[in-house]
Amino acid sequence: MESYLISVIKQFEYYKSLGDKTFNQLTFEEMQWQSNEASNSISVISKHIVGNMLSRWTNFLTEDGEKSWRHREAEFEDTYASKEDVIASWESAWLCLFSTLKSLKEEDLERIIYIRNEGHTVTEAINRQLAHYPYHIGQMVFLGKLLKDAQWQSLSIPKGNSTKYNEEKFNKEKGRRHFTDDL
């Protein structure tokens, strides 16, 4: 189970890096673009992720994950004044998540915590968020690709490079490693 916690942290770090690399390619104006009134911009999606993270991971083991101070509906209003504000908020939320995960012990994984009064084991709660955040980060990456078009710098194996990428992987000695180790 210790390897589970290590792996989860690496997975979250990977998805955070996808968000970071998306932000790095965009201007603040691009981060605020939305296709229509019913859609969310990258800055709004990140604001929602931040609100969820701070609520879920603050006092994770002792308080309900849906805090009374969270105002979820306000997360969908774009109130950021700059790209630096978006990134500072993003970083504070990830710090909260990583601090909590790194404080967990193997024996915590079967403890029951609550989200909106629904009991979850710690493992279930982690898995829930490990599905939720990448869902939204994928939206951010997709919007970034649409906005940058040909100027987009691929965050994975670029089209046409699969054979080369696989050759590099298979030229290495077999061994246990995490796919993010050489990113």
pLDDT, one tens digit per residue, over 36-65 is: 999 999 999 999 999 999 999 999 999 999
Q: How far apart are CA 47 and CA 53, in angstroms?
A: 10
Q: What band does 2 get if pLDDT is binned at 50, 70 and 90?
A: confident
Determine contact, residues 20/13, Cβ cutoff 8 Å.
no
Question: What token pair was written down for 20?
Answer: 């970071």
Sign of the dihedral defined by the CA atoms of residues 133, 180, 85, 153, in that order = negative
Determine contact, residues 22/15, Cβ cutoff 8 Å.
no
pLDDT of residue 1: 64
What pLDDT, in 10s, does the model give residues 56-96?
A: 999 999 999 999 999 999 999 999 999 999 999 999 999 99
Residue 159 has pLDDT above 80, yes or no: yes
Question: Residue 179: which residues within 8 A CB-CB, separation 6 or more?
Answer: none
Domains delineated in the chain: 2-153 (1.20.120.450)
